[in-house]
Amino acid sequence: MSTNKDTVQRYMDAYGNWDHAGVLACLTDDVEWIVPGAFHLIGRDAFDREIEGQGAAGPPEITVTRLIEEGDTVVAEGGVRGALQDGGMLSLVFCDVFLMRDGRIRQLTSYLMGTDAS
């Protein structure tokens, strides 16, 4: 596995355990996280505050179904499931586009779509 794909996989594993130190170790200091239509964060501190998400009752289960790399770009597809504080379930599919610099995540754009939680 390439350095960039390995970083993305480590990021996914850490995020799925709410391992803040593990997530932050994968990021550049000037990281940007963009969720179109929802938010655009800049910097590790802002990223760190969003790791656990609003309304989540615990770490999510993240399944990566595909990793594709070209140059300094890695695309990850997969799904996320997790319990919510209100008793509901989060269920979505994602396509994350990672722009890498020196083996670390410089920018993440997350395209998310909710699915039936049943």
**Which of 100, 89, 87, 113 has its CA nearest to residue 35?**
113
Residue with tokens 């802002």: 46
pLDDT at 116 over 80: no
pLDDT in tens, 48-60: 999 988 889 999 9
Question: Do the Cβ atoms of 52 and 18 come closer than 8 Å?
Answer: yes
Q: Per-domain residue ranges for the chain?
A: 3-114
Q: How far apart are alpha carbons 84 and 87 in whole angstroms?
A: 5
pLDDT at 118 over 90: no
Q: How far apart are alpha carbons 70 and 20 in whole angstroms?
A: 27
**Averaged pLDDT for residues 8-27:** 97
pLDDT in tens, 41-97: 999 999 999 998 888 999 999 999 999 999 999 999 999 999 999 999 999 999 999
The dihedral through the CA atoms of 101, 2, 16, 91 has a sign that is positive
Place 101 in a pLDDT band, splitting at 50, 70 and 90: very high
Residue with tokens 């709410």: 18
pLDDT at 117 over 70: no
Give the whole-number percent of the chain exceeding pLDDT 90. Answer: 92
Architecture of domain 3-114: Roll (3.10)
Three-class SS of residue 97?
Answer: strand
Torsion of CA 40, 71, 65, 113, to 10 degrees: 30
Q: What is the pLDDT of residue 4?
A: 98
